[in-house]
Amino acid sequence: MAASGLAGASGAARPLMRLVTMSGVPILRQLQLEERLLRRSADNWCLINDGTAPPTIVMGTSGRVLELVEIQPVLRDRVPIVRRFSGGGTVIVDQGTVFVTFICNNSAVPGLQPYPRDIMSWSGQLYGKVFDRFGEFHLRENDYAFSHRKFAGNAQSITKKPRWVHHTSFLWDYDVKNMDYLKIPKRAPEYRRSRNHTDFLCCMKEFMPSRSVFTDGVITALGDHFSVEPTDLETALSNDEEFVPTTKLLSQQDLEEIVSSKESPSVQKVEAVP
């Protein structure tokens, strides 16, 4: 059970949240750590990863490669593709991306129901405190936007403890050329209105003075709800080495099979986890 921390404004003790700050950690490693903390830890966590390398395509659990990715340039340029454990869409991430992840026992947020829209709404309120002073911030469907331009995408994974991950990839900056590896998805938010990537997206650096202003703002906003305790990455990594994550890097063989089979819509089968 997570220890309680300092009392909040209402006098109730704020639950403990362990904060891990990283920089440049490969996204595959970050996601596998998140999945392990979700399944094997009892604590609340916030992970911040400022930039990642190499540039990587990250798909949601049910994403179909051929529908979402320009496969020939990806194969030609050997761009890695990761299939993550959470839902949601496809992104290409690099040094310009800042990741913020919350891994929480649902009881840590009083009154919150452990369902996607409830968690998304709670996150929008939290990030509103971070961004309101810098631009016209909105939670638009499931994205964070300034006005009508998206600067962050979200995804979640919810277990029945209940315990959940809500993770976000923030576009501090992005390389326009990298967008050529992604198709415009069939399942797109209404507010996108068929805009291409450059018309739909915007960069946070146009609105905020520095990355640290952003990450410090997140930590301050968290402090209203949680007692935030900085924690070493090594401590986070030390839980249960035997856990096998479902998040994986698609191998060259996986991709060749996908291309040759034209990716038939078979159901993805998983083993039950004891």
**Are 82 and 58 in contact, with CB atoms under 8 Å apart?**
yes
| Beta carbon nearer to another protein, 58 or 228 | 58
**Are 11 and 223 in contact, with CB atoms under 8 Å apart?**
no
CB of residue 90 to another protein, shortest distance in Å = 12
Of 190, 241, 242, 271, which lies in the binding site for another protein, with binding defined by CB under 8 A?
A: 271
- By CB under 8 A, the residues from 200 to 259 that bind another protein are none
Question: Does residue number 272 form part of the binding site for another protein (CB under 8 A)?
Answer: yes
Which window, 42-50, 131-139, 236-244, 262-270, contacts another protein (CB under 8 A)? Answer: 262-270
| Beta carbon nearer to another protein, 191 or 207 | 191
Closest CA to 152 of 93, 86, 196, 194: 93
- By CB under 8 A, the residues from 53 to 72 that bind another protein are 60-62
DSSP string, 48-59: EEE--SS-EEEE
- By CB under 8 A, the residues from 167 to 196 that bind another protein are 187
Question: Does residue number 10 form part of the binding site for another protein (CB under 8 A)?
Answer: no
**Are 101 and 167 in contact, with CB atoms under 8 Å apart?**
yes
Query: Which three-class secondary structure state does DSSP give residue 249?
Result: strand
- Per DSSP, 268 falls in state P
| Beta carbon nearer to another protein, 112 or 179 | 112
Of 15, 51, 55, 88, which lies in the binding site for another protein, with binding defined by CB under 8 A?
A: 88
CB of residue 118 to another protein, shortest distance in Å = 8
Question: Does residue number 87 form part of the binding site for another protein (CB under 8 A)?
Answer: yes
| Beta carbon nearer to another protein, 176 or 267 | 267
Question: Does residue number 268 form part of the binding site for another protein (CB under 8 A)?
Answer: yes
- The alpha-carbon radius of gyration of the chain (Å, integer) is 19
Q: Say how far apart CA 31 and CA 201 lie, in whole Å.
A: 23
- By CB under 8 A, the residues from 109 to 168 that bind another protein are 111, 113, 115-120, 142, 154-160, 164
| Beta carbon nearer to another protein, 141 or 180 | 141
Amino acid identity for residue 75 in this structure: L
Closest CA to 222 of 8, 73, 64, 31: 8
Six-digit token string for 53: 């390398």
Query: Which three-class secondary structure state does DSSP give residue 206?
Result: helix
Which phi and psi (to 5°) does residue 133 adopt?
-80, -10
In sequence order, what are the beta bridge partners of 139?
144
| Beta carbon nearer to another protein, 176 or 273 | 273
Binding site for another protein (CB under 8 A): 60-62, 85-89, 111, 113, 115-120, 142, 154-160, 164, 187, 265-274
